[in-house]
Structure 1
Amino acid sequence: MSSNKINKKSIARIAAVQAIYQNILQNNDDMDDIMQNVLSFYRNDSSITNLTGNLKISLSISHFKILVKSVFENINKLDEIIDNHLTNDKDPAHMPILLRALLRAGIYELLFYPTTPAKVVINEYTDIANDMLNGYEIGFVNSVLDTIAKEKNKIS
């Protein structure tokens, strides 16, 4: 019988996007509080079982915490990178919150996790985008992350 288990880092990435999204939505600078709220959801077996049936979900807490804290510490640089990849007719203030949260996490991993291949990061965040965003936004995530991976040495 095959196991219905998802990679712990994949779940950590999803949870990180959720925490970053919550930070933007609530305009809450207390990332420790936000991280604890997100972690409590993933630790609560009943809430996850109700959503997933028999799928086994656990996350890499260390990857989650490092990613969220690092994004928060580098938020201005990440937003500058995101805004520089918008076309001239796009106003950064009108970017959907979830799209910005996902790009912040993906760009951070591309630039500052040298042991994770760019292709893995791009695929992971494109998959997350596929589950959370619409068609245009999915393509935008893929395009921005791919461009940043190619420009990585100039940016970081």
Structure 2
Amino acid sequence: MAGSRRTGAGQGADKRRRSAARLACVQALYEMEVSGAATDPVLEAFMSERWSAPEAGFVNQAPDPAFLSVLVRGVSAGREDLDALISPLLPENRDLARMEILLRVVLRAGAYELAFRPDIPAKVAINEYVDVAHAFYAGKEPGLVNAVLDRLARQVRGEDAGSGEL
């Protein structure tokens, strides 16, 4: 079937667009959490205004709009279920409700992909959200994201899920 497969360059662009969508998802979820805004207006703003703004960080690659929408809507709708999955996996000295908002939404987004998107390999989801955490944190937070999402992957996908560590 000629033309049914993406070329290497096309696949790379798709991966970058999905990575950008994950970053935008975390930013949108953060905005929703801080402002109390509803999902639709925030998504609309990201899709119509924010991608073209150089300060938004999407200069090289615009997010995949369909994937961004699925992620934001999925995390928003499943927030309580995601929190229930994440909370028991946190270290004893961490409480999800008291956690910094940004770190909490990174964990929720990663948990959503692991629990509800079996089409995305666990290792990919873990690595992507560790990368997102690195975009915002220079400390131990990316390690926490890696550890929690790795535990969750083993729990929801079985022992063959693999580690997010490279």
TM over 0.5: yes
Counterpart position of 1:111: 115
Q: 1:35 aligns with which of 39, 43, 52?
A: 43
Deviation at 1:92, TM superposition (A): 2.8
Greater RCO, CA 8 A, separation 6+? 1
Deviation at 1:87, TM superposition (A): 2.7
Is contact 2:17-2:61 (8 Å) kept? yes
5 Å matches for 1:62-81? 62-81=66-85
Give, as a single letter, the amino acid of the residue that structure 2 aligns with 1:36. E
Does 1:21 find its partner at 2:30?
yes
Q: Distance in 2 between matches of 1:91 and 1:52?
A: 30
Counterpart position of 1:122: 126
Deviation at 1:91, TM superposition (A): 3.0
Is contact 1:102-1:129 (8 Å) kept? yes
Q: Distance in 2 between matches of 1:51 and 1:17?
A: 13
Secondary structure of 1:135's aligned partner: coil
Does 1:59 find its partner at 2:57?
no
Counterpart position of 1:148: 152
Percent identity, please.
35
Give, as a single letter, the amino acid of the residue that structure 1 aligns with 2:44. Q
Aligned positions, number: 146
Q: Distance in 1 between matches of 2:94 and 2:17?
A: 35
Q: Distance in 2 between matches of 1:59 and 1:139?
A: 25
Q: Distance in 1 between matches of 2:137 and 2:88?
A: 21
Is contact 1:122-1:146 (8 Å) kept? yes
Deviation at 1:86, TM superposition (A): 2.1
Q: Distance in 2 between matches of 1:95 and 1:126?
A: 17
Is contact 1:18-1:38 (8 Å) kept? no
Query: TM-score when scaled to structure 1?
Result: 0.84
Counterpart position of 2:101: 97
Gaps spanning 5+ residues in structure 2: where?
A: 1-12, 159-166
Is contact 1:35-1:65 (8 Å) kept? yes
5 Å matches for 1:2-17? 7-17=16-26
Secondary structure of 2:140's aligned partner: helix
Q: CA RMSD in A?
A: 2.3
Is contact 1:16-1:68 (8 Å) kept? yes
Counterpart position of 2:7: none
